[in-house]
Each structure stands twice: as C-alpha cells, then as structure tokens.
Structure 1
Amino acid sequence: MNTGILAYGTYLPAHRIQLSDLGATLNIKAGKGSRVVASYDEDSTTLAVAAAQVALNQLQGVTAARTEHARVEEAAGGPHSATRRPSSEAAPITALYFATTTPAYADKTNATAIHAALGLPAGVFAADVAGSARSGVAAWRAAASGHGLAVSADIRVGRPGSADERGGGDGAAAFVFGAVDDALAEIVAEASVTAEFLDRWREPGAVAGNQWEERFGLEQYVPLIEHARAEVLEQSDVLEPDHVVVVSPNSGVLKLAGRRWPGRKSTSGSPIGHSGAADLGLALAAVLDNAGPDETILLLSAADGCDAILLRTTDRLAERRQPTSAAEQLARGSDVPYATYLTWRGLLDREPPRRPEPDRPAAPPAARAVAWKFALTGSRCTACGFTHLPPARVCKSCGAIDAMTRAPKAAEDGTVATFTVDRLAYSPAPPVVAAVIDFDGGGRCTLEVADGGADRLAVGSRVRPVFRRLYTAGGVHNYFWKAVVL
C-alpha cells in the first residue's frame, strides 16, 4: 500500500443516559454504566462535521508548524530551506466520503452539507456511502485510494429497553488519508471476504432494527473472520499484531474476540458500544490515542462478511494525535433524563407547544447564503479590517463597497460579551440561551448556546462554534451554527 492516515478525529456527544435511570423508568434490569446519546439538535450530519473538524484542524496545525519551521530554516539558510514543503499541503483533500446507517436525508447527498460546513473547495468530490455498518469500511477504502477524507457517523436508536438501546452509542470518526511518507500510520495490507446471510436488518423508514438469534450470526462470522485475518497477516508477514480491534453488530463476536483473536498488547472494540458505520473509526481512534510508534494494529470488522486492515504506526503519531482522546470525551458527558432522551428520538410523543409551526426553510435564500449558513464565513473589509458577521458588501466601519475578503469563523473560538436566558421560549432542552460572541480574529454575532450551557455561562466565558440543526419543517433540516461553552 502507498497511502496512510495523516490525521484523525472523533466526536462523542455531550449527553449520557444512565442505564439505572432507563431500568427504573421501564422497570427492567438494564445493567450498569451509561450510554452516549446525541442531543435533539444533532444528527449524523452534524456529528460528522464535528469529527471532521478535529481531524482537519489537527492536520492544519501540523502543516502550519512545519511551514513556520521551513520559514525559519530558509531565513537561516538551512539545508532544506528551498525544498521542504509539507506533503499534506502539497496534496490537499480531493474527495469526501460520508458513511452512515442513519442519514438525515434520502434522495439528497448528506455529504454536501458536511462539505459546505467544512468550507472545502467546490472541486472536492463529496458522496454518501450509506445503508449498513459495512459502509464505514467502504468510505475508508474509497478515501484511502487517494488523498481523501472518510467520515463515519451514526445515531443508533433501539426500541425502549432493548439490547440495541442499552448497548449502542452515538458518535463519529474522521480520517484524512495521504502519502505514506507523511502518515501517522501506514496501511500495510487489506483483505476482505463477503457472505450473504441474515444477521441484522432494518426496513427503510423504521426507527429500530432487528437481529436474528445471536448464535447463528456468530457461527457465520467466525470462519469469515479467520479467513480475512489469516490472509492479511500472510500478506504482511506479521505473526502477532500488537493491537487487535474487533467490531461487529453481532455481540457474540465481541465476546469471543479477546480469547480467539488477541493482540500482543491489547484487544478492544468500540469505546461506546455498537455505533453502526462509525464502529470501526471510533475503535481505531481509541487505539491511536494510546499506541506507540512502530506498532501494528489489526482491524477486523465483521459486518455482512469481514474486512481486515493491518496498520503500522510511525514516529509521527505523537504529534498527530487528536487533542482530546476518545476516552476523555467519553468521561466528560453529562446526564440527561431517560424520558427526555425518548422525546428527542421521537419515541415518546409528548404534547407539542401551542405555537405556530416554523416555516419550511426555503432553498433560494439558503443557496445565496451558503458560505454563512453552512461554513460560518463572514467578510473582512480590506480597507479598514472590520469583520462583518454575517458577510456584507458595504463596510459598516468605513463605507467601502465590495472591498471584502472571506473571514471563516467555524474553527475560531470566541468570548461571550453578553447573553440572555429565555425560560419561556419553547425548546426540547430548555432554557433557550442566546449569547453575543466576540470572535478572537474579529467580528461579533449572536449564537444560541447548545448542550445546556446556561449554568456555566458568564460574561467572559470562552465558547466555540458547533454545527447543529435548528429545526426541521416540511422535511427540510435547517442547519446553522450554535456555540458550546469550553
């Protein structure tokens, strides 16, 4: 293989439901621990944006550091002053592949909203790879064939009290691929085997899925895993991988993994339980968060067959790790009542607010304002430097006309200048908090505060923009940016 992973990122939503709360509500034995759940204003698209931002920001940070190092070398007449250029800069992303089993839209490409939110150039190809847990591997392979970005995200919903509900989790993972000589982990070998049998399925339009008897699926998967594992290890001449990652929608496979396919240093799966198409990415990211250089990682994804991928980490891993590990993200969650979670997922039909329904977002104004609405990009006056949020043609400060340059803010933190807490306006997670934010690079605008930040918010609080869904009307999702307290 001649490609590898340049950067990666994960996103775990901020909310958790305690299984004890679930059990008490439904009067069942639900076990111990908690489950990661997405907020009412999150879907697979917004989760994907959050994970991809982490990966791209990490890559850009390394590129910026190397560019500065090259500039210093050039000023000093160093040996690489005339030639050194980061390969990630020389080979930008050419394609984005989005994998999910829970797309926000059908008959419309969801990856285009991710593309817009990330502010990628129009020439970057974007496509969905949706429908099954194996979609995550499909996105990986497509992106790894060149300088691609693979993003996988899912919101797993099970029937109340089911094993799917208790053992699932919502999350996203993103990987940027590129030249192997600049990778944090190189792809050493791949092998796949495909088989048709009924293990897990969900009818189109259904909220929750179904699974055949666990033992039947396990009997089908074991020989497939053995075959793919043996083939990929034979290709690489690796006898015993340092780390083995096993993911599967069949829980029997996961129970068997540690005894049947152990790694020399670790054997693991998804840190949040079954997360659909995001399973493989989240499980790999958790290993990359802790692995050392020159270690081998064997990925085994058993879903409608088995896909085996062998990686070898490089000495670049330490500088490329995501800033907040998956384990740290998992530990940071805050509890939400189980009944509230059911309402967010539409499984508990509560009395709606006695207010007019919101208007369906219109396509023409959304298209005209796509840079602002999806990428939070304002404009900066080239005459006086004043930043306009949203963008404007006429400068409010000096009056210059059409003398503007782009001012992206999606990856920029800010400070709260003032805020209001509205306890009367309807929200699935009251109260509604609106904050006036001064961005570090200039510009001021008002954003809603997400993820229950009212108790932690104060004038001077530091916040960060997050891509969310304001509401859905007439089958159209109204995406925009909110803020979360750091």
Structure 2
Amino acid sequence: MSYGLIGYAGYLPRYRLGAADIGLRGGDRVVASYDEDSTTMAVKAAGMVVGPGSRPEALYLATTTPAYADKTNASAVHAALGLPAGVLAADLAGTARSAIAGVVAAASGGGLVAAADVRVGRPGSSDEKAGGDGAAALWFGAGEPIAELLAVRSLTAEFLDRWRDPTAGTGWQWEERFGAEQYTDLIRSCSRAALDAAGVADADHAVLACPNTAVIKRAATLLKGQKSVSTSPIGHSGAADPLIALTGALDIADPGDTILLVSAVDGCDALVFRVTDAITTHRQKVPLSTQRRQGQPVPYLTYLAWRGLVERESPRRPEPERAAAPPAARAQRWKFGFAGTRCVRCGFTHLPPVRVCRSCGTTDDMIEVPMGRLAGTVVTYTVDHLAFSPSPPMVQAVIDIDGGGRCTLEVADARPEQLAVGARVRFTFRRLFTAGGVHDYFWKAVQDNAE
C-alpha cells in the first residue's frame, strides 16, 4: 500500500547574515538563532503539518547536525508534538540522502518525515556563503492527498565530494569541478529513469538539491521543467535541502502539475510527484518565498559566538546547572508538550499542570490542555541585561493564554523596542541552554509578527 502526501511545511529561521559580512555580492544568508537546533526546527516545521490529536504512522527525523549522539532526537520532536506513545520515532542521520530515505519510508508505510539542519561553515568559506539553516516536513497518510508519489529511482556512487569528521563542527569539500563531473551523468540518468517510470515526458516543475555549488549553478541545463526549474532558496541546508526545495515547488504548483525532485548526494535520487486538486486549499500558511523575504539582521560577531567560532566573555553570573533526567521525565507533557490542566468542575486552567485545582480545590478531575498552538497576550515583561544568556538581553514576559491560563516565558528572537503590554505572542519550542552536554528544551514566546 502506498500513501499520498497530505500535508507539508517549510520553516526558515528569523535571522539573516548580511551580504557584506560574508562576502556575498547581494542578498543574505538564513541563520538559526542561538536557541535553535535541528530538533527545535523540526518541531516547528512538523507542528505546522500535524494538528492536535493527529497520529501519523511513524515519525522520521533526518539531519546532519543532530543535537545528540547516542540518543534518539526524534523522541523530543515526538514529545513536543504530543504524539501517542505507539507512534515510532527514529533518527535518519548523515546527509541529504537521509531525508530521501525518510520520504520513501513514509510514502510506502505512512508517516511524517521532518528534516532540519544548522549548517556551519568556517569564516570566509564557501559553506558559510552558500549554506543555510532551515527545516521542512512532509506527511504521508491515508487522507485526501495534495500530491501523489508516482515514481522513485536511485543511483549510488562512491566518490569524495563533501565530508566532515563526526567530531568536527565544520566540513570540507573537494574541488567543485570534480564533483560536478561525477554528478552530471548521475542526475541526467536518474531523472530520466524516474520520469519514464512515471510515464511523464517532462515535468512541469524540476527541483534540484545538491551540496555542490557548481551543479546548482547548472540546474537549468541539467533538468528541464515546463514551468520552472528551481533549487533551495537558502543554499545548501544539509538533510533539509531536498525537502525545503520541494516545499517551494508545492507552494506554486497547480492541480495536475508534475514535480521532479532530484537530490544528488553520493549518487542521485529522483522522485516524481503529481499534484492534486486538494493543493489549492491545503498549501502551507506562509509560503517559503514570503519567509525568505522576511528576516531580522544579526551582527556577524554575534553569529560567530552563537556557533562557537569565537568565544566572547560570558555574563558575570553563575552558569545554569545541568538539567536532571528524573524531573524532566516527570514533567514531560509540560516541558515538551507545553500542556496544562483545566479543572472539569470550575474551568480554571493551570500552568504548569497540577492535580488539585487552585480555584475550587477539586482533586484529580482535570483534562489536559495543549498550549503550543494557541496564542496569548503580554501582561507585563522585563528586559534583563544581567541574566545569563548567550544572546543578551534576556526578555521575559508574563502571558495570558487564550482560553485561560497564565505563565512566564522567555521571549525568543526578541525585539524589546517593539514589545509592549497587550502585545500578542505565539509559542515556539526552543533550547533554553546547554550544560554538561544536556540540552534543556522548553517553550518560548514569539512576538506575533516575528515569524
């Protein structure tokens, strides 16, 4: 049994590096904030695809920059989405080909595949100029499809084009012309085989993902699209690269259009999709092109400090202690799922969740209320220049959540000059800090016009 694509979303972080900072002739580079990683960005993209109560057959997380080694990162995404325990969560790590493996697995057995990466290049390197951070998610299920996967063809080849030592933060690439020579025949052969298998002469939209910039520059000569030939709008984004590029094509495709997705990494994979009439009412809320145009500049030195490429003086305050496993496990639905409790008898909402109602005293008569997809209003806030933060100042706000409940949260991607009492905020899953090799994840508020 095969499953159709029933939902998709791409996520581009808020921050941008200016062209002058990294030697670009124009434009800018999309970069994740200091509190974003492949796990948090996967939660963001996947959360725009699956709603409360959804149950995909499985969850696959593809990334080249996992937050943890020797621990399943997909389990944190699973918890943040509030998925049932019976849903398999598994990591697919390595290269962009991991994302294609996830797509094939999800399309054949049903499931949600999320791909996310934070690409780090040495200062002045091609990776710094041509890379980008982001995430995308595809959900294959039994509902009404917005696109059907018609054919998949793959070719594998072993040659050295891009590599990274597992313990290193940045990677290397061989001279680009060598990789381009290797990929050219693979792309043409694999894409032709996939189109023939799908019974399509030429696709309406052709999408090419490849870490070799020489190949990307020749996309229009390597692939033919009746309506468009495109690549990722943010440069190479690791495992997220092919899925981000595909979301851009889905944003503009018309019913009946075919999309050829080609990912050339250590070989080549070609997938052919046909878009259905359902695409007109099920596109992602904010198109990828709109996300790309939006952005907030970040100083280059700040960015280098975020990535650990320079060491700035830390705030003269005690650093946070490592998060402990037992309390994190006990509070999993609050910490990862941002779920409170509402008293059945009086309707009072508690954040964090409790067993005894603070309003009427009723015990163990609560229902769980997920808050992550709701919005709220700022009651009061503080801008703290002294608190420990990798990106001071730290902004914290007391928030009244729509439907009931009040809590205090840090504000992510904060712009204090635009924050005010009464401002509307939404919520996003982020990393609070890392101590002792343990990442402390929780939810933060985001100013309503920030993402």
Q: TM-score scaled to structure 1, two decimals?
A: 0.90
Q: Secondary structure at the match of 1:242?
A: strand
Equivalent residue in structure 2 for 1:458, among 417, 420, 428: 420
Q: How does 1:72-111 map to 2 (within 5 A)?
A: 92-111=55-74
Equivalent residue in structure 2 for 1:54, among 48, 51, 54: 48
Match of 2:16 in 1: 16
Tell whether 2:203 aligns with 1:241. Answer: yes
Distance 2:278 2:240 in 1: 24
Distance 2:365 2:141 in 1: 37
Q: How does 1:190-339 map to 2 (within 5 A)?
A: 190-339=152-301
Match of 1:32 in 2: 26
Q: How does 1:152-163 map to 2 (within 5 A)?
A: 152-163=115-126
Equivalent residue in structure 2 for 1:432, among 390, 394, 399: 394
Q: Higher helix fraction: Structure 1 or Structure 2?
A: 1
Counting matched residue pairs gives 448
Max radius of gyration: which structure?
Answer: 1
Measure how far apart 1:257 and its partner are. Answer: 1.5
Q: Secondary structure at the match of 2:269?
A: strand
Percent identity of equivalent pairs? 60
Measure how far apart 1:143 and its partner are. Answer: 1.4
Match of 1:67 in 2: none
Distance 2:141 2:356 in 1: 41
Match of 2:379 in 1: 417
Tell whether 2:358 aligns with 1:396. Answer: yes
**Structure 1 alignment gaps of length 5 or more:** 24-29, 64-88
Q: Does structure 2 retain, via aligned residues, the 8 Å contact 1:247–1:269?
A: yes
Equivalent residue in structure 2 for 1:132, among 90, 95, 104: 95
The AA in structure 1 aligned to 2:16 is R
Measure how far apart 1:453 and its partner are. Answer: 2.9
Equivalent residue in structure 2 for 1:350, among 312, 323, 342: 312
C-alpha distance after superposition, 1:203-223 (max 9, x if no partner): 011111111111111111111
Distance 1:257 1:305 in 2: 16
Measure how far apart 1:141 and its partner are. Answer: 1.3
Tell whether 2:358 aligns with 1:364. Answer: no
Distance 1:438 1:332 in 2: 27
C-alpha distance after superposition, 1:57-111 (max 9, x if no partner): 4xx7xx9xxxxxxxxxxxxxxxxxxxxxxxxx7xx31100000000000000000
Measure how far apart 1:420 and its partner are. Answer: 1.4
Q: Secondary structure at the match of 1:221?
A: helix
Match of 1:81 in 2: none
Tell whether 2:130 aligns with 1:167. Answer: yes
Measure how far apart 1:118 and its partner are. Answer: 0.4
Equivalent residue in structure 2 for 1:186, among 137, 141, 148: 148
Q: Does structure 2 retain, via aligned residues, the 8 Å contact 1:6–1:182?
A: yes
Distance 1:352 1:275 in 2: 30
Measure how far apart 1:423 and its partner are. Answer: 2.2
The AA in structure 2 aligned to 1:429 is S
Measure how far apart 1:198 and its partner are. Answer: 0.6
Match of 1:6 in 2: 6
Match of 1:44 in 2: 38
C-alpha change, 1:286 and 1:216, in structure 2 (3 Å) is: same
Measure how far apart 1:2 and its partner are. Answer: 3.2
Measure how far apart 1:132 and its partner are. Answer: 1.4
The farther-off stretch of 422-431 and 283-292 is: 422-431
Q: Secondary structure at the match of 2:413?
A: coil
Distance 1:360 1:391 in 2: 23
C-alpha distance after superposition, 1:216-267 (max 9, x if no partner): 1111111111221111111122111100000101112111210231201000
The AA in structure 1 aligned to 2:421 is V
Q: Give the RMSD, CA atoms, in angstroms.
A: 1.3
Distance 1:144 1:483 in 2: 34
Q: Does structure 2 retain, via aligned residues, the 8 Å contact 1:429–1:452?
A: no
C-alpha distance after superposition, 1:279-305 (max 9, x if no partner): 011001011111110000000000011
Distance 2:414 2:194 in 1: 46
Q: Does structure 1 retain, via aligned residues, the 8 Å contact 2:176–2:214?
A: yes
Match of 2:75 in 1: 112
Q: Does structure 1 retain, via aligned residues, the 8 Å contact 2:62–2:239?
A: yes
Q: Does structure 2 retain, via aligned residues, the 8 Å contact 1:453–1:484?
A: no
C-alpha distance after superposition, 1:392-445 (max 9, x if no partner): 010000000111110110111111111112122232222211111111121111
